[in-house]
Amino acid sequence: MRFIPAIALGLLPLVAMAQTEAPAPEPPASAEASLGAGSPEAVAAALQALGYRALLTTDDYGDPKIVSGASGAMFEIWFYGCEEAADCKDLQFYGGFDTERAFTAEEMNDWNLDQLVGQAYVDENGHPRISLALPGATDLTPAAFERMVMRWDAAFGTFVNFVEF
């Protein structure tokens, strides 16, 4: 039993060190301002800074929507999870084409198998659609936003060629 007090006395310097250590430093503040679904104006401005047109308007529910384009075709950015047309939480890039011929779900599935970005599908009339959902897109750095837009632009362009629009 004499070993227990000796062990306890041996641990006292470690306890004292733990109590006198400085608290962990705060992470550095980001040098880049963030943007996201909660600030449609910032998303539109960021798109414009990347060389895209960006018309900020509203959808049928009164939520923000941005109309833009790439590869000779129009696309939209929809805002979801909004509370009274503000404080939105999610973004979705969307492009739809009213083509002369109807596409099949199988054709869209084949396209999806070869693509990382964008989900292709057809509407009830066989018209091709593509979307890219970004749930929780509330705090993106400008660099992350630019990368996402570039990936969307590449997928959208590939899709425009695929559907021969």
**Number of domains present in the structure of the chain:** 1
In a domain, 1, yes or no: no
144: phi then psi, degrees, rounded to nearest 5: -65, -40
Among 66, 95, 70, 90, which Cα is nearest to 140's? 90
Amino acid 32: pLDDT: 58
Three-state DSSP class for residue 85: coil
pLDDT (tens place) for every residue of the chain, 165 residues total:
444 444 444 444 444 444 445 444 444 444 457 799 999 999 999 999 999 999 999 999 999 999 999 999 999 999 999 998 889 999 999 999 999 999 999 999 999 999 999 999 999 999 999 999 999 888 899 999 999 999 999 999 999 999 988
What is residue 26's predicted lDDT score, i.e. its pLDDT?
47
14 domain residue, yes or no: no
Residue 27 is assigned to a structural domain of this protein:
no
Q: Domain residues for 76? A: 34-162
Domain contains 24: no
Q: What is the largest CA-CA distance in the chain?
A: 92
Amino acid at 152: W
How confident is the model at residue 34, as a pLDDT? 77
CATH of the domain at 38: 3.30.1460.70
User: What's the chain's Rg over C-alpha atoms?
Assistant: 25
Query: Is there a domain that residue 5 lies in?
Result: no
Task: Strands of 73-146 (E only): list them.
Answer: 73-80, 90-96, 119-122, 128-134
CA distances from 96 to 57, 122, 125 (A): 18, 9, 12
8 A C-beta contact, residue 83 and residue 74: no
Tell whether 6 is covered by a domain: no
Is 56 in contact with 48 (CB distance < 8 Å)? no
What separation in angstroms does the CA of 75 have from each of 71, 123, 138, 155?
Answer: 10, 16, 21, 12
Q: Is 13 contained in some domain?
A: no
pTM over 0.85: no
